[in-house]
Amino acid sequence: MIHILRDGQQFGPYTLEEINAYLADGSLLPSDQAWYEGLPEWIPLTEVPGVAFLAQSVPSPVVTGVVASGGSGKRKKLLIGIAAGVVVLAGGAFAGMHFLGGEKESEKPVGTSANKEQGDGGSVENAPTKGEAMTFSKVEGIFRKYRCMECHNSKESNKVEADLDFSFPTTTRAFTSPNQPGNPATAPLVLAITPGAGRPMPPNGPMISKGEVQQIMDWIAAGAKF
């Protein structure tokens, strides 16, 4: 049985087989001192008969009492460390996928019917599905819901306000053409149905909800087609 001395602290005793195993996995260092019964004093571990020390092996630079608890404790700690590393890497990969997914989601056009968002006071219930043309039929229900057609459709009423007649597409161009090209929010029709307008439409009853205003803007952005 062999006793080990390192920095004034003794470990062991160990069998020769254990000594060789601990040297191989780095738990023992060639600089450790050894003593067994019959020796007058401590000697370098590598001078113990039967100790198989490979010069090319690289000893562990840090040893924290693993020898005292045996090699099995070191192996257990090593396995736990590897498992923890795998968990951390997996978590990082999941977070990265989630982050990339969030970027892709944010790349969707903001404020378009593709998002099918709920507007304040109403839902975008007629939002077209992907690949479906955005025509007047998708927003006609909104104008009927707020009774706009009663004043702006000569087919249903003899009263046509502000020369805007939804039954004649050509009359809508002046009202659906944005004052700022590419910005449907500046179209006269949108300005009239947006809260805060000088003469808000409809003049009586609730204002068109934000979600429905957005859908009308989408229709204008798509060319205000009939």
In a domain, 199, yes or no: yes
The region that residue 95 occupies, defined by phi over 0 for left and psi between -120 and 50 for alpha, beta otherwise, is alpha
Q: Is residue 125 domain-shared with residue 71, that is, in the same domain?
A: no
**Residue 125 belongs to a domain:** yes
pLDDT tens digits for 43-72? Answer: 998 899 988 766 444 444 444 444 444 445
- Same domain, residue pair 211 and 159: yes
Split into its structural domains, the chain has a count of: 2
Whether residue 18 is found in the same domain as residue 65: yes
105 falls within a domain: no
Neighbours of 28 (CB within 10 A): 29
Inside any domain, residue 142: yes
Q: Return the pLDDT at 220.
A: 94
Taking residue 158's Cβ as centre, other Cβ atoms within 10 Å add up to 5
| Beta carbons within 10 angstroms of residue 148's beta carbon | 21
Asked if the structure places residue 213 within a domain, the reply is: yes
pLDDT at 168 over 60: yes
Q: Are residues 69 and 126 in the same domain?
A: no
Say which residues have a Cβ less than 8 Å from residue 169's Cβ, sequence separation at least 6: 136, 226
Range of the domain at 202: 113-221
Judgement on whether residues 155 and 211 belong to the same structural domain of the protein: yes
* Last-in-domain residue among 22, 52, 77: 77
Does the residue 102 lie in any domain? Answer: no
Asked whether residue 173 is domain-assigned, the answer is yes
pLDDT tens-digit readout, 82-139: 666 655 565 555 555 544 454 444 343 434 444 444 444 444 445 555 556 889 998 9
Same domain assignment for residues 194 and 146: yes
